[in-house]
Amino acid sequence: GDKAFAQFLTDEIKEEKKIQKHKSLPKVSGGWELEVHGTEAKLVRKVAGGKITVTFNINNSIPPSVDEETQEEQKPDEQEPDLTSTPNFVVEVIKDDTKQTLVLDCHYPEDEIGTEGEEESDIFTIREVSFQPTGESDWKDTNYTLNTDSLDWALYDHLMDFLADRGVDNTFADELIELSTALEHQEYIKFLEDLKSFVKCQ
């Protein structure tokens, strides 16, 4: 059984490498520097008087397939639809002369992906906004968190513009999807390889 499993994994790894779009991770334009720790990625961009960091984790970042039925109708030789990783991401705006960091929790709404054509709509939304003490990794639940569901739309628009002025706009969000998808695929292949070694290990 293990032999067959290992053989299956070998074939699977070959297939996945064949369809791998990026041998190295795609760059995000606009002067962002990338740090990767396992499944977590961090993009850092220096701006006058501070810096912006964007953090995301590729785990659970691939939305579930929408229709189970359409998959069964697929002819066997049809290409599977490309999996796209659309992770939630956290933007931190850090200003040198304050002790607070503005933290914006953003995500890709599932119904927005793929509805291009409408120029005006943003491909990501801000879910929550809070201030957190700069430099502390543990954020406090006692800090007020603004949920954008009930937010005045004018204030929301200003927040989106505030992000766009700092390089977090639709172009960035598109490139983040591209980066995250490449990273997810890379980690998936690595997982298959680790699984193969594990299965073969006596």
Identify the helix (H) or strand (E) that includes residue 147.
strand 145-147
pLDDT at 81: 60
pLDDT value of residue 121 = 81
Predicted TM-score (pTM) of the model is: 0.85
The domain limits of the chain are 1-60+83-112+121-200
What is the rounded CA–CA span in Å between residue 182 and residue 20? 8
Q: What is the DSSP letter of 26?
A: P
Give residue 120's pLDDT. 58
Q: Which amino acid is at 167?
A: G
Per-residue pLDDT of the chain (202 residues; tens, 9 = 90+): 889 999 999 999 999 999 998 888 999 999 999 999 999 999 999 998 999 999 999 999 998 765 544 444 444 444 556 789 999 999 999 999 888 999 999 999 976 554 444 455 889 999 999 999 887 777 777 889 999 998 999 999 999 999 999 999 999 999 999 999 999 999 999 999 999 999 988 7
| Distance separating alpha carbons of residues 136 and 130, to the nearest angstrom | 14
* CA-CA-CA-CA torsion sign (129, 134, 135, 137): negative
* Residues in contact with 180: Cβ distance below 8 Å, sequence separation at least 6, in sequence order: 41, 56, 58, 61, 85, 86, 87
pLDDT for 72: 44
CATH of domain 1-60+83-112+121-200: 3.10.280.10
Query: Using an 8 Å Cβ cutoff, are 128 and 148 in contact?
Result: yes
* pLDDT at site 71: 42
Return the number of other C-beta atoms located less than 10 Å from residue 109's C-beta.
14
**Amino acid letter, residue 101:** T
